[in-house]
């Protein structure tokens, strides 16, 4: 520590300063003495002016190099960082939930499309079945109509045949009736001739037999 004088002041009025001789001295700072009372300051000034033996010494003190703490700012930064982290985490969770919802929605749409395809397939099969049933029904009705028409034709033909047979029998009956009526009408007129013819026939037959017998007897003698 070195002591320097100022303005060739007497030894008892020199100002002293302390200098650190370190190779890298920290910044110097003056530490002012606490403000004295105005009255005391006045008294001190007066005493200084009157007392020449009193001297003032300023000492250089190293400044504290550590940064002054700022708890409120650091806490605000930490809180902001925590909020940003929480917000980012919440955003990621929301994105994950959104992706899950979209995936579930896509699955539901696929399931809905599959069910719609099955429904369309069932409707198409139902339409085909109804069309086949209608076709079979029409075919059955056509066959029924044809069978009815054939039966009608057969029945008509049988009826016509039966009517023709009845007509023929009726004609034959009329013919026989006509013949019988004619016979019954001519029998009274032919009765005498028939009786005479029968007697002659019987007599002739007897004579023929007698002749045969006679011839046979003559031949035996």
| 46-57 pLDDT, tens digit each | 444 444 444 445
The mean per-residue pLDDT over the stretch 103-109 comes to 93
- pLDDT over threshold 60, residue 161: yes
For 107-149, the pLDDT digits (tens) are 999 999 999 999 999 999 999 999 999 999 999 999 989 888 8
Please tell me which residue, 150 or 8, carries the higher pLDDT value.
Answer: 150
pLDDT the model gives residue 59: 52
Average pLDDT, the chain: 71
pTM over 0.75: no
3-state secondary structure the chain: CCECCCCCCCHHHCCECCCCCCCCCCCEEECCCCCCCHHHHHHHHHHHHHCCCCCCCCCEEECCCCCCCCHHHHHHHHHHHHHHHHHHHHHHHHHHHHHHHHHHHHHHHHHHHHHHHHHHHHHHHHHHHHHHHHHHHHHHHHHHHHHHHHHHHHHHHHHHHHHHHHHHHHHHHHHHHHHHHHHHHHHHHHHHHHHHHHHHHHHHHHHHHHHHHHHHHHHHC
Separation CA 72–CA 66 (nearest Å): 17
pLDDT band at 184 (very low <50, low <70, confident <90, very high): low
The mean per-residue pLDDT over the stretch 163-178 comes to 85
Separation CA 210–CA 61 (nearest Å): 211
Interacting residues of 97 by C-beta distance below 8 A, sequence separation 6+: none
pLDDT band at 185 (very low <50, low <70, confident <90, very high): low
Looking from the CA of 87 toward its CB, the CA atoms found within 13 Å total 6
Task: Please name every residue paired with 60 in a beta bridge, in sequence order, or none if there are none.
Answer: 30
pLDDT the model gives residue 192: 63
pLDDT band at 97 (very low <50, low <70, confident <90, very high): very high
pLDDT band at 32 (very low <50, low <70, confident <90, very high): very low
């Amino acid at each position: 520590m070195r002591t320097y004088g100022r303005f060739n002041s007497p030894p008892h009025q020199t100002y002293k300063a302390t200098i650190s001789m370190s190779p890298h001295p920290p910044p110097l700072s003056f530490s002012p003495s606490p403000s004295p009372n105005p009255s005391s300051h006045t008294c001190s000034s007066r005493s200084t002016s009157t007392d020449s033996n009193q001297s003032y010494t300023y000492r250089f003190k190293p400044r504290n190099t550590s940064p002054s703490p700022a708890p409120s700012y650091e806490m605000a930064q930490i809180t902001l960082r925590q909020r940003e982290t929480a917000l980012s985490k919440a955003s990621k969770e929301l994105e994950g939930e959104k992706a899950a919802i979209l995936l579930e929605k896509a699955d539901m749409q696929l399931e809905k499309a599959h069910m719609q395809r099955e429904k369309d397939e069932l409707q198409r099969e139902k339409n085909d079945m109804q069309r086949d049933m209608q076709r079979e029904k029409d075919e059955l009705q056509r066959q029924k109509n044809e069978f009815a028409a054939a039966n009608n034709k057969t029945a008509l033909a049988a009826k016509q045949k039966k009517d023709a047979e009845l007509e023929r029998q009726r004609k034959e009956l009329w013919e026989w009736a006509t013949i019988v009526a004619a016979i019954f009408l001519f029998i009274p007129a032919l009765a005498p001739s028939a009786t005479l013819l029968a007697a002659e026939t019987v007599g002739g037959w007897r004579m023929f037999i007698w002749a045969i017998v006679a011839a046979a007897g003559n031949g035996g003698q």
